[in-house]
Amino acid sequence: MLVEEIMKIDVITMAPSETIGKALQLLNDHHIRHLPIVDDENQVIGIVSDRDVRDARPSIFDDSEPEEFENEIQTIMSHPVITVHPLDFVEEVASIFYEHEIACVPVTKEDKLVGIITEKDMLYTLIQLTGTNVQSSQIEIKVKNIPGILPKVTQVFGKRKVNISSVLIYPYKPDSSYKILVFRIQTMNPMPTIEDLKEAGYEVLWPNMPGMSS
Amino acid sequence: MAEHAGDVIMKCQAGFVYSDAFIQYHFRDDHPFNQLRVQMTKELLEAEKVLESEHFLSPRLATEEELALVHSPTYIEAVKKASKGALTEEEGMEFGIGTEDTPMFTGMHEASSLLVGSTLTAIDAVLEDNYEHALNLGGGLHHGFERKASGFCIYNDGAVGIEYIRKKYNYKVLYVDTDAHHGDGVQWLFYDDPNVCTLSIHETGRYLFPGTGNVTERGLKEGYGYSFNLPIDAFTEDESFLDLYESALKEIVEYFQPDVILTQNGADAHYFDPLTHLCSTMKTYERIPQLAHEFAHKYCGGRWIALGGGGYDMWRVVPRAWAQIWKTMISGQPFQGELPEDWRNKWQKQAPVELPTTWHDPEGLYKPIPRKAEITEKNKKVLANALQFIHNQKKYNHLSP
């Protein structure tokens, strides 16, 4: 999946000379946590988070409008900014968030701002990848870690005309010569499929007997 | 309703909606959803001599206009076409018709409209005529969506019923769903409606269809705080199930103050049920209708409509579980002791399993669950989380002058 498929294109931005007070207002009004700072050419020259803005305020117990709010936003912005390209992979963005401990990246094309991706967009995408957002039942199968096993297993589903909404593969920790396949299938009655899988010699980890489980 | 000290003896006016035509809602011979369950329950009640001719209510067909209270006209058209065998497999796919779960069958529109109509008959009996309670075991098809069939459900009779109550009577409706699967169709259709409160207790969607019903699904916009979900762990037993259910229902009824209660009484949380992984026994199915009965009288002037739903061990579980609803409706007390012999003898001939001999399940029905303590603890957390919104409201109301 590409960044351009999940990025938001209506980005709230600020000019470097606008005030910190304005930033606070934008963050509150739009329920967002990041503001890219762009120049006249729409190039990203900095970014501020809600935390940066809060840190600029002397005390939360002081109700009066602090004079710091009149300062220009460029005095507190972070730069240089880590950005991604619309054609980057979503997985790469996840790695960037993890490695740099950040929660938002502007998306730029030919140095111009074209979109933004936040941690929340990322999580939403992951939820979709796991298939839990559509009606389905989950089946887990332990299989030999060898080439060609996946198509063999999916054939069983195909025969029953059961639609698969997602497939995840993860390592079987106790023994690396096995893997776990997780399928979400669009049926309320997975029993016939499970029977077929067992008959074909596969080890179905879930559903299983009471107490053995998960 | 007569009372005497201690034990409450109740004689309620209740109606039993039934038609031999319920059986026509039939997908395929080897399909787990089988309306023979309703006939078995009816005959069990007749054998116990608690269901007489004066109790029966004949259902009507729902009109297309009524179906359109929640379903889109294009979907209804598609079902009608499929009903005549004129819908292609490809056309059906968009509407979830023609899948393994909801295959097409001749007459499916009429058969499904009857199930919706029977729920409307039950509603009118309670809200218009002199009935305090009404039971329609043919209904409770909670997975039907606005324009999609799923999970063995075509039209969502419960949802049509609720919208019908809203439009015709303007009552506040509490919908309570004890099916082992999340009552997703009904929840989503009223997700932003503050006059319809939904409570669903079900096996967690981590593995089980439909996957939703998380405790964090609380409603949307004005409807926020009017959807409640109790997703319980696989292998949950009676004790924990009832602890959560009773506590939640009590607080929710008090908080929402409904005018009428509509229950979906799926009977698939039983240990024997082949599609789910919960470990309830008949204890749960004796208690569920008692609670509905009690709260309907306490808060709604008795107005309680109960529907059927899932339940895939139709030999050993469903007839007993559903018969207890009726028994509770008319007397406030469940059956005890032996099952009628005539009934057992008749159905044992067809059953692939040994039918039970008593209303209760014997002790030691299944091997002890090793993770019981852990499951109970996790479920308690779910309960606390589900009721958090009500608790916060209470705290807030208490603090503000």
Q: Do B367 and A210 touch (CB under 8 A)?
A: yes
Cα B236 from chain centroid (whole Å): 19
Task: Kindly tell me if the per-residue pLDDT of B216 is higher than 60.
Answer: yes
- Measured between beta carbons, which residues in chain B are less than 8 angstroms from residue A187? 99-101, 209
Task: Kindly tell me if the per-residue pLDDT of B283 is higher than 90.
Answer: yes
d(CA B195, CA B166): 8
- A58: preceding bond cis by omega (within 30 degrees): no
Q: Is B209 helix (H, G, I), strand (E, B) or coil?
A: coil
What ipTM does this complex have? 0.70
Q: Do B275 and A188 touch (CB under 8 A)?
A: yes
Cα angle B254-B259-B264, degrees, rounded to a multiple of 5: 85
Among 3.30.70.1400, 3.40.800.20, 1.10.1060.10, 3.40.50.920, what is the CATH number of B14-399?
3.40.800.20
Q: Do B143 and A184 touch (CB under 8 A)?
A: no
Nearest in space to B118 (alpha carbons), one of B14, B22, B260: B22
Q: Residue B118 is inside which H or E element, if any?
A: helix B108-127
CB-CB contact of B233 with B269 (8 Å) = no
- The pLDDT, as a whole number, for residue A159 is 85
- Measured between beta carbons, which residues in chain B are less than 8 angstroms from residue A214? 206-207, 234
Q: Is B231 helix (H, G, I), strand (E, B) or coil?
A: strand
DSSP state of B353: S
Provide mean pLDDT across the span A127-154: 89
Contact A123/B at CB under 8 A:
no
Q: Do B211 and A211 touch (CB under 8 A)?
A: no
- The pLDDT, as a whole number, for residue B25 is 97
Cα angle A108-A4-A52, degrees, rounded to a multiple of 5: 50
Nearest-Cα residue of chain A relative to residue B276: A207
Condensed to tens digits (0 to 9), the pLDDT of residues B235-265 reads 999 999 999 999 999 999 999 999 999 999 9
**Domain-wise residue ranges, chain A:** 3-126, 131-206
- The pLDDT, as a whole number, for residue A212 is 42
Condensed to tens digits (0 to 9), the pLDDT of residues B293-338 reads 999 999 999 999 999 999 999 999 999 999 999 999 999 999 999 9
- The pLDDT, as a whole number, for residue B394 is 85
Task: Kindly tell me if the per-residue pLDDT of B345 is higher than 70.
Answer: yes
Dihedral angle sign, alpha carbons of residues B81, B85, B90, B93: positive
**Domain-wise residue ranges, chain B:** 14-399
What are B227's strand-pairing partners?
B198
Name the residue facing A189 among B32, B366, B371 (closest C-beta): B32
- Measured between beta carbons, which residues in chain A are less than 8 angstroms from residue B279? 210
Across chain B, mean pLDDT equals 95
Across chain A, mean pLDDT equals 90
- Measured between beta carbons, which residues in chain A are less than 8 angstroms from residue B181? 188
Contact B214/A at CB under 8 A:
no
Exactly one of B143, B270, B293, B297 is catalytic; which is it? B143
Q: Which fold has domain A131-206?
A: Alpha-Beta Plaits (3.30.70)
Name the residue facing A189 among B101, B205, B212 (closest C-beta): B101
Residue B205: phi, psi to the nearest 5?
-80, 5
Integer CA distances (angstroms), B334 to A109, B313, B323, B331, in order: 70, 20, 9, 8
Place of tokens 């075991």: B137
- Measured between beta carbons, which residues in chain A are less than 8 angstroms from residue B99? 161, 163, 186-187
d(CA B63, CA B360): 41
Condensed to tens digits (0 to 9), the pLDDT of residues B95-118 reads 999 998 999 999 999 999 999 999
Among B209, B277, B280, pick the best mutation site for testing chain A contact (most A Cβ within 10 A).
Answer: B209
- The pLDDT, as a whole number, for residue A61 is 67
Task: Kindly tell me if the per-residue pLDDT of A182 is higher than 50.
Answer: yes
Six token digits for residue B7: 């034990």
d(CA B333, CA B10): 8
Q: Residue B230 is inside which H or E element, if any?
A: strand B227-232
d(CA B113, CA B121): 12
Beta strands B304-307 and B260-264: pairing type? parallel
Contact B29/A at CB under 8 A:
no
Return the higher-pLDDT residue of A133 and A189. Answer: A189
- The pLDDT, as a whole number, for residue B206 is 87
- Measured between beta carbons, which residues in chain A are less than 8 angstroms from residue B152? 188
Q: Is B174 helix (H, G, I), strand (E, B) or coil?
A: strand
- The pLDDT, as a whole number, for residue A13 is 97
Nearest-Cα residue of chain A relative to residue B371: A211
A3-126 falls under which CATH superfamily?
CBS-domain (3.10.580.10)
- The pLDDT, as a whole number, for residue B155 is 98
**Total CB pairs under 8 A between chain A and B:** 73
Six token digits for residue B264: 């979906």
Whether residue B143 lies in the annotated active site: yes
d(CA A183, CA B316): 31
Contact B103/A at CB under 8 A:
no
Amino acid at B76: I
- Measured between beta carbons, which residues in chain B are less than 8 angstroms from residue A157? none
Give chain A as a 3 state SS string. CEHHHHCECCCCCECCCCEHHHHHHHHHHHCCCEEEEECCCCCEEEEEEHHHHHHCCCCCCCCCCCHHHHCEHHHCCECCCCCECCCCEHHHHHHHHHHHCCCEEEEEECCEEEEEEEHHHHHHHHHHHHCCCCCCEEEEEEEECCCCHHHHHHHHHHHCCCCEEEEEEEECCCCCCEEEEEEEECCCCCHHHHHHHHHCCCEEEECCCCCCCC
Cα B219 from chain centroid (whole Å): 20
Q: Do A137 and B211 touch (CB under 8 A)?
A: yes
- The pLDDT, as a whole number, for residue A1 is 87
Amino acid at A72: E
Provide mean pLDDT across the span B371-375: 93
Among B207, B272, B279, B281, pick the best mutation site for testing chain A contact (most A Cβ within 10 A).
Answer: B207
Condensed to tens digits (0 to 9), the pLDDT of residues A93-102 reads 999 999 999 9
Element counts in chain B: helices (H) and strands (E): 13, 8
Contact B143/A at CB under 8 A:
yes
Q: Do A137 and B279 touch (CB under 8 A)?
A: no
Condensed to tens digits (0 to 9), the pLDDT of residues B3-19 reads 444 445 568 999 999 99
- The pLDDT, as a whole number, for residue A39 is 96
Between helix B318-331 and helix B282-299 the angle, nearest 10°, is 30
> Within 10 Å of residue B349's Cβ, how many Cβ atoms?
7
Name the residue facing B210 among A136, A190, A192 (closest C-beta): A136
CB-CB contact of A132 with B211 (8 Å) = yes
Q: Do A187 and B32 touch (CB under 8 A)?
A: no
Q: How many CA atoms lie within 13 A of A60 on its CB side?
A: 4
Contact A183/B at CB under 8 A:
no
Q: Do A188 and B181 touch (CB under 8 A)?
A: yes
d(CA A169, CA A171): 7
